[in-house]
Every structure is written in C-alpha cells, then in structure tokens.
Amino acid sequence: MRRKLLLSFIVGYVIFIAFIYFYLFYFDTGAIPAEFKGSSVDPETFLTAEELVKSEEYSKIRNFLFFLEVPLEWLFYLLLLFFGIGKLFEKWAEQTTRMKFVHNALFTFCLSFLSFVFFYPLKFLRYSLSKKYGISTQSFHDWMRDLLINFWLDWLLLFIVVSALYWLIRKSEKRWWLYTWFLAIPFAVFLMFIQPVIIDPLFNDFYEIKNKELEERILMLADTAGIPSEHVYEVNMSEKTNALNAYVTGIGTNSRIVLYDTTLERLSEDEIVFIMAHEMAHYVEKHIYFGMAGYLVLLLGLMFIIAKLANKIVNKYGRLLNVSSMKKLSSFPLILLIVSVLTFATSPISNAVSRHIEMRADIYALQLTNDQEAAVSTFQKLSQVSLSQVNPPILVKWFRYGHPTMLERIQRAEQFRD
C-alpha cells in the first residue's frame, strides 16, 4: 500500500512538473501586451538585448524551481512517514535520555539535519544560478556560513515550537490547537521585536548611513510621515548581492530604517527617497500590525483545520504512516505536511492581500514625494537589477508575488502623473 501510494505521488509529481515546464517556457511566457510596446513599461526601452535574454531565462528557471520544490517538500514528509523515519528519531531520543526537553532537542535536530541534507542540492542550485546571472556576489564560503547560521536558528525555533506544541497536545488533545494559537501571538511579537537587533546582525553588518545629507533628507521625510527615528541604517549587502532594497523593520523602540548599500550606490537620491517613502507607508498605515493581525487570523483557521485533519488521518491511516498517536513526536512530519499543503493552497489569497498593501504603499509614496519620474525609473531599475519579468505569468503572480508586478507599478505611477 505504501509503495503504491508513493509511486502514485511520484507519477503525479512528474506530470505536474511537465505541465509547469510547458506552461512557463511555452504557454505563458510573460510577454508584454501589444498596447504597451514602446512605453515605459516595455522592458525593451530600459534593458539591453543581453539583459532581456538573461531576464527571461533567469525568471523562468527561478519560477520553475519554485514549483519544483513545493511538491518535493511534500514528498520529503511522506518519505519520513512511510519509512517510519520520524518514529526512529523519536525512539532513539527516548532511549538516549528520560528528559522530555532533550527528546525534543534530539528529535528536532535529526529532523532539521535530514531536511538540510535533502534540500541542500536545490539550495546550491539556486545559489549557483544567482551567481551565474550576476545577482549574487557572495563567495561559497560566506554563503555556507549564512546557510549554517540559518540552520541553527531554524533548529532553535523548531525546538521551541515542538516543545510547546507537544506539551499542549499531551495536556489537551481537543483544544491544543487553540492554546497553541494563543502562545503564537506573544511569540510572533517577540520575534519581530528582536529581529533588527539580534537576528539580522548575525548575517550582515549594520551601521549609520555615511551620507549625512541623504540621512537628513530621509529623516525629514520620516518626520513628515510621523515616524520616530534618529538614524538611518546602512547594511553591507554588496558583499552578497547586487539586488536593491530598503525597509523599515522592527516594532516599538527597536524599529529601524534600513538601506542596502547597493541601493545607495545605484539609485539617485530622488529614487532612494521614493523607496523610503514606500517603506514608510508600511509604518504610517500600520501595515505591519494589520499584517500581523491577518496572519494570526489565518493561523487560527489553519490550526483548527490542522488539528481536525491530523486527528482523522492518524485514526484512519496511523498504521500506514507509522504514527500511533498525535501525542507522539513521530506525528510531527504529518503536521508539517498538512501545514505545507495548506500554506501553498492559501498563498494566492495571502499574496493578493500583500499585493494590495504594497499597492497602497506605492500610492502613499507617490503622494508624499509627488515624484512620478523617480517612481518609474526606480521600478525600471529594480526590474533591471533583479532580472525579474515585468509581466510574469498569472500562476507565478498568484503563487509567488507579494508585490504588484512591475507592469502594474510602472503603469500606476504613469497614471498618477495624469
């Protein structure tokens, strides 16, 4: 039975990948509609012939890898369940010590390490691809360093989540999902608070911006927007990427205005000010808090569905999946599988909400700066440097884009001028 189900999944996976390949490379190539030819939206007006080719190639390959990885993650969890690997990890942890928190630490470490090894080839392929197309400037040594730091952070987070989750499941089999959701609220806020001052500096160096005239201009803009900030921070991303970015991060006293040094090097002051106005909009319009509230509402629904589905699956197919009870750590790969499927299924909704929020931020930036020319040139340069498609295929937009497409953003800026 296990072999038959696994074979069926693999066959379905191959068919899905064949469909995605045909869709991305032959059916919907993301071409610009005829009415936009020669306009500021047309990439032929702001990209060289070489950049056009690289943009199309890189975007298609990167999108293909995304759709390749999602079902691969499901396959990974199915393999853990069908071959009883989670059960073996749990048994080994129990034989090692009687302390529950050590059980959790050992189990989550084994699971994290196996996941790291399983997905490493795909991560390395992405890294190699970004190097080939000039997006990444990071050496392999530094890339591995960041990957390992991320591994330990992910393991620590997973250990905390599993410890709390299974303590609650053992205390209340019926309402653990609700209690888990309650705990998630302060935990999520805590992570947002510490990220700018503890987590982010593990990967990059942050320092006050060197261009004090530009800092003064940005701080004046922040003051106009009602954002309390004494400094603008610069981060040395040029050691890792050619990508351009800026953001306002953190909450409360730990909020920060941050600019990539690549952004400072490649954009004009007017373009930088427009980007910062966009990021400030998220603070002014409370997008961080609305986003957090929306995330928690979605999480509540997902937790309820996960609890109901997991219990039914364990009761009906527990033996097939090598899971005897939800109280056992061996049920965790099943929870991860359900989470992954539901997250993918709901991503078009969450991405649509995110695109609306980003659209609001673009409008706010246009109103605050009243500089449509800087907006258009900024979007063009962002597309140029990231080698992203101006008009991506609709499935890519639904499942990958948390921002409006560049076609939509440039067009909106042009229309704002009118």
Torsion of CA 279, 282, 288, 294, to 10 degrees: -130
- Is the pLDDT at 96 greater than 90? The verdict is no
What does the pLDDT read at residue 298? 86
Active site residue 279: yes
Q: Are strands 232-235 and 256-260 parallel, antiparallel or unpaired?
A: parallel
Taking residues 257-277, report their average pLDDT: 87
**Is there a domain that residue 237 lies in?**
no
Domain that holds residue 18: 2-202+286-417
Across residues 384-394, what is the average pLDDT? 90
Residue 60 lies in a domain: yes
Q: Is 150 a domain residue?
A: yes
Among all chains, which residue has been given the structure tokens 């928690």? Answer: 296
How many other β-carbons are positioned within 10 Å of the β-carbon of residue 331?
A: 26
In the chain, % of residues over pLDDT 70: 97
Decide if 264 is inside a domain. Answer: no
- Computed on alpha carbons and rounded to an integer, the radius of gyration of the chain in Å comes to 23
Q: Is 256 inside a domain boundary?
A: no
Residues 33-86: tens digit of each pLDDT: 888 888 888 888 888 888 888 988 999 999 999 999 999 999 999 999 999 999
Nearest to 344 by CA among 21, 69, 146: 69
Residue-wise pLDDT tens digits, 302-330:
899 999 999 999 998 888 899 988 999 99
232 inside domain? no
Q: Is 226 left (phi over 0), alpha (psi -120 to 50) or beta?
A: left
CA–CA separation, 353 vs 348, rounded Å?
9
- How many domains are contained in the chain? 1
Q: Is residue 25 part of a domain?
A: yes
Given the residues 279, 358, 373, 414, the one annotated as active site: 279
- In this structure, is residue 270 part of a structural domain? no
